[in-house]
Amino acid sequence: GSRGLVQTYGKYEMRARFGAGYGVRAVGLLWPAGGGWPPEVDFYEIDGADTKRTTNHLTNHYGAANSMQHASETADFTQWHVVGVEWTPDALRYTLDGVVKVTMTNNVPNRPMWLGMQSGITGTSAQPGAGTPAVVDIDIDWVRIYRRA
């Protein structure tokens, strides 16, 4: 099933910051409505091993074998930033603080998707430990979703 607003194409932005803490990750993504995966568009993905929260991983998942296009952007993501993606029929334009930083033009999804946000334990590669704070917050100030005209 789908969650919230479902649409094909649009612009998505969120103002967020993510507390430091080994083994905890955060993701903002577009997920396919109605089942079947991929596609998946990750426009905010901070890995649990990135304790200082300096790299945002940008990924376009596509195809039956879960092929991926990767890029990244660097900032201090423990501070407030506006992360986003502009999704059109011909491109995914990943934005940071209102500026397009990365454009992907191959394998652009063309089916309805919804916006998801999550944080959690990374998995086997980076587990929380003695140095991980008891609480690692992802703060989301606001989310904006625009329909394509």
Tokens of 149: 């005209």
Distance between CA atoms of 128 and 21, rounded to whole angstroms?
A: 8
According to DSSP, the β-strands at 6-7 and 99-104 are: unpaired
Query: pTM score, two decimals?
Result: 0.93
Helix/strand/coil percentages in the chain, nearest 5:
0, 55, 45
Cβ-contact 5, 145 below 8 angstroms: yes
Task: Tell me the pLDDT tens digit for each residue of 83-128.
Answer: 999 999 999 999 999 999 999 999 999 999 999 999 988 666 788 8
CA distances from 116 to 62, 84, 106, 127 (A): 17, 12, 23, 23
User: Residue 42: pLDDT above 50?
Assistant: yes
pLDDT, average across residues 36-41: 96
Task: Tell me the pLDDT tens digit for each residue of 50-80.
Answer: 999 999 999 999 999 999 999 999 999 999 9
- Compute the C-alpha angle 30/35/41, nearest 5°: 20
> Whats the size of the chain, residue-wise?
149
Q: What is the pLDDT of residue 1?
A: 47
